[in-house]
């Protein structure tokens, strides 16, 4: 068993595409119309282009329980998912210069360093570094 796709619910696929590619540095892999304004829109890491894809899922627009869950996570300050980075401090500095807002500045917990950013599409995302 292996992971091929992880889904991140977003409220605006185009806005999410710009944020995840222009700010976070992911690459667009697939972009196929799915009816209406919905798209099968996936991204990959520059470092692992044949690795798992991130699906920017428009679920909060079409499935109220997903929107409620997303809102509850945001209200509680809980990240929807996390991405590993080589240096949380370096990524924090790079992303801050690009205007990315963080709800948690670089912090250490046990053997990990982390920070939490707002993806502007309804989610907090943690970036983590193993110490």
Let me know the angle formed at the C-alpha of 10 by 56 and 97, rounded to the nearest 5 degrees. 90
What are the C-alpha distances in Å from 72 to residues 2, 4, 75, 125?
29, 27, 5, 14
Domains in the chain: ranges and CATH:
5-130 (3.10.180.10)
Tokens of 12: 């605006």
Residue 18: pLDDT over 90: yes
How far is 101 from 105, CA to CA, in rounded Å?
10
Q: What is the pTM of this model?
A: 0.95
Summarize pLDDT for 40-92 with one digit per residue, the tens: 999 999 999 999 999 999 998 889 999 999 999 999 999 999 999 999 999 99
Position 36 confidence tier, pLDDT thresholds 50, 70, 90:
confident
């Amino acid at each position: 068993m292996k992971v091929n796709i992880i889904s991140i619910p977003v409220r605006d696929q185009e806005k999410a595409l710009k944020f995840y590619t222009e700010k976070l540095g992911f690459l667009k892999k697939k972009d196929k119309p799915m009816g209406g304004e919905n798209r099968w829109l996936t991204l990959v890491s520059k470092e692992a282009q044949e690795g798992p894809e991130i699906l920017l899922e428009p679920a909060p627009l079409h499935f109220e329980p997903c929107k409620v869950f997303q809102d509850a996570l945001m209200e509680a300050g809980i990240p929807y998912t996390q991405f590993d980075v080589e240096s949380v401090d370096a990524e924090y500095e790079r992303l801050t210069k690009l205007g990315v807002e963080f709800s948690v500045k670089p912090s250490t917990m046990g053997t990990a360093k982390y920070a939490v950013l707002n993806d502007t599409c309804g989610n907090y995302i943690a970036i983590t570094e193993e110490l």
